[in-house]
Chain A
Amino acid sequence: MNATNSFKDLLSKRDEVAERWKRKGRPVVGWACSYVPEEVIYASEALPVMVFGDVKDTTLADVFLPVNSCSFSRSCLNSALKGNYRYLDGYVTSNSCDNRNKIFDMWKYHTEIPHVYFINTPRTRFDDSYDFFYEETVRFRTFLEETFGQAISDDGLRDVIATYNENRNCLREVYALRRQKPPLISGVEALEIVLSSMVVRKEVHNKLLKGLLSNVSDRSDPPQEGLRLLISGSVMDDTRLLKVIEDLGCNVVADDLCTGSRYFWEDVELDADPLRAIAKRYLGKVPSSFMMDQKAGLKHTMDMAKEFHVEAAIIVDLKFCDNHLFDAIALTDEFKAAGLPVLHLECEHSLGGLLQLRTRIEAFIEMMRGVVQ
């Protein structure tokens, strides 16, 4: 049996996992942005799940959205409108980009999800920004307590933080397996592992991770050695594109995705007030593209490139994603300055036009390797 099958399996059964949790009489809360402090949800005995998109179509959501809006947010909304998220008791999002900001209203007024909640994330990281975000976290705790009738104590939060930090630590160890040549875990597998941590209670995921980490060195089917790539981008909620890339003879060994390294790179550092510690971690983490000062975000990407001995980079941006498209120009320059060839792809969440994307990726690989080796 493949070493990472259990994660893939979990990912494919995410609806069942959520429904099983619900049958225990406990809530399921969907979150849409890596700035939503998941620990607080978890401490209310709810199952936090990331809201993924619907790759098949977006016709229901199209009615509510302008054509030049984010195809990922569109497909998530479509999924909800279609009833795929019937089990959600709540949906929590943040103003991480203008699309998310506006699409909040569509979730609130057009889906049947009972509680739709908004967290205001600052764009700056001054002292008062942290104070503000802490207040937002307090407000969020109150909302959860009132909505689900479960008190969220400081001690409870401390336990959850420990569980989450353990998960983060294990995920970092999984990523470390990709430093070697060839990596012990493929990019597709790594993404499945991270995504699967977003659909199940962390205790369960921690057990799976520990099992993997103790057995993986003996695996009989490690990835073949290939061109070592870093993937830069925003959300990637399935493995289709990475599969295309790795099937062309590459090893995706690093990323700066918010569904990848940026999800778990930092722990919550416990101090006297666990809620303040959580707020500090989320606002202080590797910044997403919407945060002020692009250089801070780019640093993480370039550090990853170096640490994971990357030979080239592919920037994957969603069409009309202003924040990332602005950064792509600076990021391209950073990669070039580091001597790394870089390919910039713009695509829809559906990956429509995959043939042309594939041609670009293939040509990029031919360029790096030569056609006749």
Chain B
Amino acid sequence: MSQDTQFWKWPEYRHTEPEKDWTTASIITAGIDIGSVGSKVAIMLDGELYAYSVIRTGGVSEATSVKATEWALKETGLQKEKIHYVVGTGYGRVNVPFADRTITEIACHARGAHYVYGPAVRTVLDVGGQDCKAIRCDEKGKVLSFLMNDKCAAGTGRGLEVFADLIGIPIQNLGEVSLQVEKDPPPVSNTCVVFAKAESLALLRQGWSKEKVAAAYHAAMADRIADLLARVGIEKEFVITGGVSKNDGIVERLTRILKIQPLAPNMDPILAGAIGAALFAKALQEKRLGLR
């Protein structure tokens, strides 16, 4: 494949907290969030984030879950077998062969958002690769209600990947580019990712600039997400998780439409689901040990 068709390819990464030591931890847990586009692993020591990895989900979820976990553990000296409790979540959650249990990404994102942003969070928007969820939760991070979009990918990360390839701008820069217009043009009207791509292509052929087409695409996505949020009802504090939370073009437009500022995260919000899963894993391990 030639270089110019790789604009969708967002970078994979990992991290270890250098000052933390797993050998002194009493409960080691892992949350493994196999999304449709990205797979995230969070390793936690007594409920504190220790190491993580974010990789692109491959064709085989089992292999991806092993690869992502091994990568998260790289250079930590910790082996997979030493983890006390593993919770799988995300669309590929049933394909994590070493998981002790699976929990839905809805519960995990609410729990994870509570950890990442604190107990004031009441509305969590998770925009992932293939679907989009609006979740209402209480001060403990417990889900009160939720809504998910339909199977269509136009309002999601995968749609952005397709769009990045179309206009030839790396996906990390897309949001920023979409904001380089004075005023948003009318949004693209199609709700199907394939048709939205065709419509965008037609706009480019009409002579629209890349920035303007990007603005039209992002505006449509923001509108659709805002509709979903309106149906579940937004209450402060409002936060955005998932890969698309890194796209300023979406976040800024949503803020404009909803007239509510999402909280700024103090860690990578793409990890919220994996962190939530690892926190549930801790509670489940404590239960297993008779500690709760």
Contact = CB atoms under 8 A, between A and B. Distances in A.
Contact of A372 (B91, B106, B144, B287): B287
A362 B104 CA distance: 7
B104 A366 contact: yes
B146 interface: yes
A366 B104 CA distance: 8
Given A359-B104, A363-B107, A346 B280 contact: no
A84 to B, nearest CB: 28
Contacts of B103: 366, 371
Interface in A18-76: none
A367 B284 CA distance: 17
A367 B133 CA distance: 14
A363 B111 CA distance: 13
Contacts of B284: 372
A363 B131 CA distance: 14
A356 B151 contact: yes
B91 A359 contact: yes
A330 to B, nearest CB: 15
B182 interface: no
Contacts of A370: 142
Contacts of A371: 103, 107, 111, 280, 283
B145 interface: yes
A360 interface: yes
Interface of A is mostly: helix
Contacts of B106: 359, 363, 366-367
Interface in A318-373: 341, 346, 353, 355-356, 359-360, 362-363, 366-367, 370-372
Contacts of A346: 150
Contacts of B105: 359, 363
B250 to A, nearest CB: 22
B148 interface: yes
B148 A356 contact: yes
Contacts of A341: 145
Given A356-B151, A371-B107, A372-B284, A363 B146 contact: yes
Contacts of A356: 91, 131, 148, 151
Interface residues of A, number: 14
Contacts of A367: 106-107, 142-146
Interface in B72-113: 91, 103-107, 111
A370 B287 CA distance: 14
Interface residues of B, number: 21
Contacts of B145: 341, 367
Interface in B133-168: 142-146, 148, 150-151
B151 A366 contact: no
A373 to B, nearest CB: 9
Nearest to B287: A372
B91 A355 contact: yes
Nearest to B131: A356
B283 A372 contact: yes
Nearest to A344: B147
Contacts of A355: 91
Contacts of A353: 151
A372 B280 contact: yes
Contacts of A359: 91, 104-106, 148
Interface in A68-111: none
Max chain B Cβ within 10 angstroms of own Cβ: one of A360, A366, A370, A372? A372
B12 to A, nearest CB: 25
Nearest to B143: A367
A360 B151 CA distance: 12
B206 to A, nearest CB: 28
Nearest to A362: B104
B242 to A, nearest CB: 15
A372 B87 CA distance: 12
Interface string B262-292: 0000000000000000001001100100001
A317 to B, nearest CB: 12
B80 to A, nearest CB: 23
A371 B104 CA distance: 9
Contacts of B104: 359, 362-363, 366
Nearest to B90: A359
B107 A366 contact: yes
A372 B106 CA distance: 14
A110 B103 CA distance: 48
A360 B148 contact: yes
Contacts of B280: 371-372
B143 A363 contact: yes
Contacts of B146: 363, 367
B145 to A, nearest CB: 7
A366 to B, nearest CB: 5
A215 to B, nearest CB: 38
A341 B91 CA distance: 24
Max chain A Cβ within 10 angstroms of own Cβ: one of B131, B145, B287? B145
B230 to A, nearest CB: 14
B129 to A, nearest CB: 13
A355 B34 CA distance: 14
A353 B149 CA distance: 12
A362 B90 CA distance: 12
Given A359-B91, A366-B106, 9 more contacts: A341-B145, A353-B151, A355-B91, A356-B151, A363-B105, A366-B103, A371-B103, A371-B111, A372-B280
6 A-B pairs with least C-beta separation: A363-B106, A363-B104, A367-B143, A372-B283, A366-B107, A362-B104
7 contacts: A355-B91, A356-B148, A367-B142, A371-B103, A371-B283, A372-B280, A372-B284
Interface of A: 341, 346, 353, 355-356, 359-360, 362-363, 366-367, 370-372
